[in-house]
Amino acid sequence: MSCKKNSIIRKKILAYYENNKRDLPWRTKQDNNQNPYFTLVSEIMLQQTQVNTALGYYEKFIKKWPNLNSLAKANIEDVLTMWSGLGYYSRAKNLFKTAKIISEKHNGIIPNNYEDLICLPGIGEYTASAITSFAFGRFSIVIDTNIKRFISRINGLNKNDMVNKLKLNEMGKKMFPKSNSGKFAQAIMDFSSDICTKRNPSCDKCFLKNDCKFDFSLEKKEDRKKVKKKFSIVFFYIFKNKYFFLKKRSISSALGGMYEVPGTVWKFKSWPKLPIKFKSMSALSKTIRYRLSNTDLQTKIYKVKVENKDDIKESGVWVSKSDLVNLPLSILTKKIITHCMNEK
């Protein structure tokens, strides 16, 4: 695409942005001098998560820890509790690690360069580019999935070129302005979320339709991933119909630091064998299901009434319903607990 054509597209995109910019709490009017800490938190939260889903969590998170040093002094369990329900909990752990590293090694000041940022936990190429561009006004080719889609479509790239990182970066260099590259990137993101959407783009009302080489046949159809099924049995130990038992996962494991209802390991294709039996054990009628990516998680629940807390030999904690707000719980664990407490 010629320099003249790129210049025309830039002007149209930026004009659209001025009139249609999303009002997001981490943004500023200039779009290239955002609060670095707000930018860091929002970009980590937005990894694999839609803006509308992250908004509520972001606002609560910033209210609790308004700056990097306050987060660095926090407790990881509190951070995971605040993150509960947002998913991909390794992001929370990495954000916490990053805050501590910056506090200890960078005097609490978030680095303003790509080279230092890329070395921090949970920060990849896109996130490092976004922070340097959005928060510090440095020129950077910021390419997320929305911008990748935009560059591919406007240039009419074929299936192979769409996944060619070097080619996309080269086209990005020609398209992104040397000044205000962050504003331009966010303009494309808003345009792509509104008009140039992944599915069913609004090409008929698009102001770039005469400049665009998009052809549906050029886009590679995504193969539908076969849904895998995994099965588990959990035991809801309850004492005096008030207290129930939870285990804490090892911090180094998947969902590390989260609390869960104890049970069997997950098994593919078939249900695990019932490993233990109690006199007061009763199976609940409903199987709890939760879809995680392309995996269908299915859980059978056995409610076990215990006469003495010491009857349970596993390591864990006894909690009441009021304690739950202070514990990091996955969505699946919350569903299991809610069902157990509601079913008589």
Known catalytic residues are 43
Contacts of 19 by beta carbon, 8 Å cutoff, 6+ apart: none
CA distances for 59 relative to 52, 62, 98, 118, 216, angstroms: 12, 5, 20, 25, 38
Helix (H) or strand (E) holding 32: none
Rounded distance, CA 111 to CA 275, Å? 52
SS3 290: strand
C-alpha neighbours within 13 Å on the C-beta side of residue 217? 0
Torsion of CA 107, 111, 115, 118, to 10 degrees: 90
SS3 1: coil
Rounded distance, CA 173 to CA 139, Å? 10
* 8 A C-beta contact, residue 6 and residue 175: yes
Q: Is 64 exposed, middle or buried (0-12, 13-18, 19+ CB in 10 A)?
A: middle
Rounded distance, CA 252 to CA 131, Å? 28
Rounded distance, CA 104 to CA 119, Å? 15
| Selection from 119, 53, 122, 40 nearest residue 87 by Cα | 53
| Selection from 190, 90, 181 nearest residue 139 by Cα | 181
